[in-house]
Chains A and B, each alone.
Chain A
Amino acid sequence: MLQMNNVSKTYRTDTVETHALREFSLTVAEGEFVSVTGPSGSGKTTFLNIAGLLEDLTGGTYELDGRDISKLNDNQRSKVRNEKIGFIFQSFNLIPELNIFDNVDVPLRYRGFKAAERKKRIEDSLEMVGLASRLEHMPAQLSGGQQQRVAIARALAGEPRFLLADEPTGNLDTNMADSVLDLLAEINSTGTTIIMVTHEMTLATRARRNIFVRDGSVSDGPRNSHLAAVAS
């Protein structure tokens, strides 16, 4: 379970102080598929970064599976990221020098799996996203949709409890976006918790629950009307 209570995040420069999150509270239960929507600059990506332990929070508490994240050191945070969290980014973020097999291999290397175990997991996850025949391909040889599928395979290979997706279809055309969302739904059906940040309301309807973020806080008002409008 992911639980944030009154989380705040402030960015400071010499002259400017920006409050990206204010008293942000959210609980995501095991197996949920949650979409996070909101206007640009509302704080949804900041929320995802904190949820994914990529950024520290300024105030409040954040517990992941009952562990207070703020008390973990760098090694412990890296271990949690590696074992419990999978990331899917808008721009795929594959490493261009590595082939598909090696890209999916990256998180497994840091996990310390033996070669045989890594190979099996890589092949299984690429099989799941329909790219088992492209092991030796380089990222540049794949379409955008295929690259995002590789990124999903990379996120899944470590069998994470939480999948954090930041605008996963932002760089894809409609057909490819649909197939990626179908894949995410399939993954969620196996019990993996998914939190997806998107600014497209039509995509948000694919999730079982939607969180609307405005001015760094969870907001109830516009969410329902937006979704209702999209659904109708």
Chain B
Amino acid sequence: MFRYYLRLGVLSIKANPALSALMVAAIGVGIGACMTIVTIHYIMSGNPIPEKSDQLHHVRVDSWDPNEAYDEPNEPPEQLTYLDATALYEAGRATRQVISFRSSRVVEPAGEDTKPFQRDTRATTTEFFAMFNVPFRYGAAWDRSADAGNERVVVINESLNEQLFGGQDSVGKMLTLTGESYRIVGVLDYWAPVPMFYDLNNNEYGDPASIFLPFSVAIAGEHDSSGNTNCWKPIPDGGIEAFRNSECVWIQMWAELNSEAERQSYLQFLDAYVEQQKMVGRFPRPLNNRIDDVAAWMDYNEVVDEDVGVLLGLAILFLVVCLLNTIGLLLAKVMRRAKDMSLRRALGASKAALFAQNIVEASIIGLAGGLLGVLMTWLGLRGIENLFSTFEFITKLVQMDWVMIIAAVVLAILSALAAAIYPTWRACNVTPATQLRIQ
């Protein structure tokens, strides 16, 4: 019977083209407005590393001012001091641990034709790549000996490799960064997690660094941090060494912990570390250490702007208004077809059969509305992209993937079905005798 109902639905739509077009338009516009905002919300709140987001934990220890919390109500600082980051890293108590900070270097191409240019770098430790599932096109990460031995090696991203080497395998080639020569050991495949969860302190919708180099090399080379640095005490005189020994926080740390037992054990380790530091006069605040998985860390950093939530609510309300209009239009259509429904009842159609027939027709309208909604969503996203074109990150937020396209169509069909329930119920409950009695 489904094919029969499908055919009847198409015939009915053809018989009432204006009403049907209005319904498709109402659903399409509602879905378009709603899905435009939903898409942005979806990208902003998406899980950037679903396969292990519950295993990766951002590490915080409360080394802050005893008189005032880093952030209300009682949040520890988001980054670590150099002293704490290196000590916790060297302790190696997690399955994997990574410390890193953001910096920049001047890339000096070998030929004379290309001018030097500046690129973001990330000074980190070798397990960064394995921990965050970073894909490689050529080569691999540097090994632990490079971390320990201050080897000047780098991993570059595919964009820089394309720019400098035309996309060829550049592993083993040399790259000059701010006057120093580095050997390329790996070239990344395309990798741009949204949001850039591993560094939410420095532009969560920015691009990952173009160049990754060993943390130890950056420290030895006195690379300045270009990320956020926060201090609660004045930095004592004494240059870079004094800064590194200060209570300024500027290094991010992540630990991979694969079970609740590992998490508890790691927290105990952090507490023990802080207790030990208290004995040498540091960590004046009460114990307040945190490990947050990716979702919790994104939530804490309010990756999804509150305004987007408000917009989402308004968009859903708009969809509801469109659906109310659709209900009205469907009712009008049902009233027109009351005689047809009555006749079918007289000829043996049960209420369930009529219900199915009307629901299939509503689904066709919903499908058409959904396809229109996808187009409207695409137009909406392009509109937002043009409106906020001065923000580089906006292109990342206005991408429609298959999930959202399918979601738009499914939402449209479900919306149409929801809108059809009352009119269909009315259609099924017409009194056949009244409609068929034309004397």
Query: Which residues does A use to contact B, with CB under 8 Å?
Result: 40, 45-46, 49, 52, 54-55, 74-75, 78-79, 81-83, 87, 89-91, 93, 95-98, 106-107, 109-111, 154, 158, 166-167, 170
CA distance A75 to B343 in the complex (A): 16
The answer on a CB contact under 8 Å between A97 and B436 is: no
Task: Select B433's contact among A55, A91, A111, beta carbons within 8 Å.
Answer: A55
The answer on a CB contact under 8 Å between A109 and B346 is: no
CA distance A78 to B352 in the complex (A): 10
The answer on a CB contact under 8 Å between B348 and A90 is: no
Report if A90-B431 is in contact (Cβ < 8 Å); known contacts: A78-B349, A106-B347. no
CA distance A111 to B349 in the complex (A): 9
The answer on a CB contact under 8 Å between B346 and A110 is: no
The answer on a CB contact under 8 Å between B348 and A97 is: no
CA distance A78 to B346 in the complex (A): 8
Q: What are 13 sample pairs from A and B whose C-beta atoms fall under 8 A apart?
A: A46-B433, A49-B437, A54-B345, A75-B350, A78-B350, A89-B438, A90-B439, A91-B438, A93-B339, A97-B14, A106-B344, A110-B347, A158-B348
The answer on a CB contact under 8 Å between A87 and B347 is: yes
How distant is A205 from chain B, measured CB to nearest CB, in Å?
21
**Chain A residue with minimal CB distance to B438?**
A91
The answer on a CB contact under 8 Å between A90 and B438 is: yes
How distant is A64 from chain B, measured CB to nearest CB, in Å?
14
CA distance A111 to B14 in the complex (A): 26
Report if A95-B343 is in contact (Cβ < 8 Å); known contacts: A54-B433, A107-B348. yes
CA distance A90 to B351 in the complex (A): 24
Task: Select B349's contact among A40, A110, A154, beta carbons within 8 Å.
Answer: A110
Chain A residues whose CB sits within 8 angstroms of the CB of B438 once the complex forms: 89-91
Query: Which residues does B use to contact A, with CB under 8 Å?
Result: 1, 4, 11-12, 14-15, 339-340, 343-353, 431-433, 436-439
Chain B residues whose CB sits within 8 angstroms of the CB of A111 once the complex forms: 348
Chain A residues whose CB sits within 8 angstroms of the CB of B439 once the complex forms: 40, 45, 90, 167, 170
The answer on a CB contact under 8 Å between A78 and B348 is: yes
Chain A residues whose CB sits within 8 angstroms of the CB of B437 once the complex forms: 45, 49, 166
Task: Select A49's contact among B4, B340, B433, beta carbons within 8 Å.
Answer: B433
Residue of B1, B431, B437 ringed by the most chain A CB atoms within 10 A:
B437
How distant is A168 from chain B, measured CB to nearest CB, in Å?
13
CA distance A121 to B167 in the complex (A): 71
The answer on a CB contact under 8 Å between B433 and A81 is: no
The answer on a CB contact under 8 Å between B436 and A83 is: no
Report if A98-B11 is in contact (Cβ < 8 Å); known contacts: A75-B352, A89-B436. yes
Residue of B1, B14, B351, B436 ringed by the most chain A CB atoms within 10 A:
B436
How distant is A8 from chain B, measured CB to nearest CB, in Å?
16
Chain B residues whose CB sits within 8 angstroms of the CB of A79 once the complex forms: 348, 350
Chain B residues whose CB sits within 8 angstroms of the CB of A91 once the complex forms: 438
Q: Which 10 A-B pairs have the closest CB atoms?
A: A82-B348, A78-B350, A49-B433, A107-B347, A110-B348, A54-B433, A54-B432, A97-B11, A91-B438, A55-B433
CA distance A87 to B344 in the complex (A): 11
Chain B residues whose CB sits within 8 angstroms of the CB of A49 once the complex forms: 433, 437
**Chain B residue with minimal CB distance to A91?**
B438
How distant is B432 from chain A, measured CB to nearest CB, in Å?
5
The answer on a CB contact under 8 Å between A81 and B346 is: yes
**Chain B residue with minimal CB distance to A111?**
B348
Task: Select B346's contact among A74, A87, A90, beta carbons within 8 Å.
Answer: A87
CA distance A78 to B350 in the complex (A): 5
**Chain A residue with minimal CB distance to B16?**
A97
CA distance A111 to B347 in the complex (A): 10
The answer on a CB contact under 8 Å between B431 and A93 is: no
Chain A residues whose CB sits within 8 angstroms of the CB of B431 once the complex forms: 54-55
